[in-house]
A = this chain, B = another copy of it.
């Protein structure tokens, strides 16, 4: 079974044996990072990009008033800061949500890939652009949808992304975020997360306990969240 990373890279089309080998070799030297630790901080000038191999991480900004808006959630297979390859300093921090296994890929290595393997280059850029598309969806989600719909949308997104990387099947899916973290991701308070979640539970749509999400009624959840996976740019495959 291929790693989530390779699987993601192959979304656009198969890679050659050599390309797979090159990518895999970068994921050999890994590091474990404990939960709630920063992988990189706003203002850093990293000389490497962080490939998440296992666990959950997020991008976030720390605001002067102490708020900590989350900008994206990352799962195994995601490059968290591929953009640092061209953007001199990080405009946000990256932190772990759970214990994570990561591979730090030196920018030089990525540049070498790009010089030699056009399909890898293509896949990396594609991934970066999808990243932007996800940001746009979040802007719309946070800016225009009330809490219940916003929450439903987020759950759909994470479940869909997990599924498409082979990290979830059936109705279950890991989602080890605290309600407080979900609040940061949704732009609503911890208390309100709790109430909205109860509503989703009461209606039999989802269960979420001990870091495990169960989606009992995908169709209705997607309808409430107005979730259309087009922006994830994967095949039209529908989880069910």
Contacts of A87 in B (CB 8 A): 126, 129-130, 133, 233
* Separation of A186 and B139 alpha carbons in the complex (Å): 10
Contacts of A139 in B (CB 8 A): 69, 71, 135, 138-139, 142
Contacts of A125 in B (CB 8 A): 86, 125
Query: A92 to B61, Cβ gap below 8 A?
Result: no
Copies in the complex: 2
Query: B136 to A187, Cβ gap below 8 A?
Result: no
Contacts of A59 in B (CB 8 A): 136
Query: A64 to B226, Cβ gap below 8 A?
Result: yes
Query: A91 to B136, Cβ gap below 8 A?
Result: yes
Residues 169-198 of chain A, each 1 if its beta carbon lies under 8 Å from chain B, else 0: 000000000000000001100000000000
Query: B187 to A144, Cβ gap below 8 A?
Result: yes
Query: B86 to A122, Cβ gap below 8 A?
Result: yes
Q: Which of B63, B128, B137 contacts A129 (CB 8 A)?
A: B128
- Which of A64, A133, A186 counts the most chain B CB atoms within 10 A? A133
Query: B187 to A86, Cβ gap below 8 A?
Result: no
Decide if A2 is an interface residue (CB 8 Å cutoff).
no
Contacts of A91 in B (CB 8 A): 133, 136-137, 230-231, 233
* Separation of A144 and B91 alpha carbons in the complex (Å): 16
* Separation of A210 and B132 alpha carbons in the complex (Å): 33
Q: In the complex, what residue of chain B is closest to A12 when comparing beta carbons? A: B86
Contacts of A36 in B (CB 8 A): none
Q: How far is the CB of A198 from chain B (nearest CB, A)?
A: 22
Contacts of A24 in B (CB 8 A): none
Query: B86 to A140, Cβ gap below 8 A?
Result: no
Please, could you name 11 A-B residue pairs with CB atoms under 8 Å apart, sorted by A?
A: A61-B137, A63-B145, A65-B226, A70-B143, A87-B129, A87-B130, A91-B230, A91-B231, A132-B135, A135-B139, A143-B186
Binding site for B on A (CB under 8 A): 43, 59, 61, 63-65, 67-72, 83, 86-89, 91-92, 122, 125-126, 128-133, 135-140, 142-145, 186-187, 226, 230-231, 233
